[in-house]
Amino acid sequence: MNFQENKPIFQQLADRICDDIILGKYSDHDRIPSVREYAATVEVNANTVMRTYELLQNIDIIYNRRGIGYFISPDAKKKVLNMKQESFLNNEIEYFFRQLLTLGIDSERLTSLYKEYCNNHKTLKK
């Protein structure tokens, strides 16, 4: 996995797991890979994955069944969607709108581009 320089790896891994939840790879109560399994898959230290799992557990996206492993919490998909929507609306949309204005992209063109994107990526919308 390629990592960004501007964000801690454990947070990037948490984002990836959250994306997997949104995309339906994991459902409520599904077991996720063990810390060691996931560390080997993404080629990072197991301590980094442990930090990821602790973060996700603290925000109630996963839960631990001692001796068995980590599982997806009930309503995790809804929680993740709400968190990501809030983050986008609070942190990214201002820049997005500023870029549209600066580049002279009007709402009609944006609407057309968005509809085209949605048609080409129907599998993302479930």
> Tokens 């442990």 map to which residue?
50
Residue 97 predicted with pLDDT over 80: yes
Q: What is the pTM of this model?
A: 0.80
**Separation between Cα atoms, residue 56 and residue 17, nearest integer Å:** 9
**In this predicted model, what pLDDT tens digit does every residue of 54-87 receive, in sequence order?**
999 999 999 999 999 999 999 999 999 999 999 9
**38 in Cβ contact with 49 (< 8 Å):** yes
Residue 123 predicted with pLDDT over 70: no
Domain containing residue 43: CATH number: 1.10.10.10
Residues 71 and 27 in one domain: yes
- Top pLDDT among 106 and 2 is at 106
CB count in 10 Å sphere of residue 28: 13
In sequence order, what E strands does the chain have?
Answer: 62-65, 69-72
Residues 13 and 71 in one domain: yes
Domain that holds residue 85: 81-124
How does the average pLDDT of the chain come out, rounded? 94
**In this predicted model, what pLDDT tens digit does every residue of 10-44 receive, in sequence order?**
999 999 999 999 999 999 999 999 999 999 999 99
Residues 105 and 61 in one domain: no
Longest dimension (CA), the chain: 57
Mean pLDDT within 109-121: 93
The tally of domains found in the chain comes to: 2
48 belongs to a structural domain: yes
**Separation between Cα atoms, residue 18 and residue 34, nearest integer Å:** 16
Residues 39 and 61 in one domain: yes
Band (125; pLDDT cuts 50, 70, 90): low
Residue 112 predicted with pLDDT over 90: yes
**Separation between Cα atoms, residue 5 and residue 25, nearest integer Å:** 26
pLDDT above 70 as % of the chain: 97
**63 in Cβ contact with 26 (< 8 Å):** no
63 belongs to a structural domain: yes
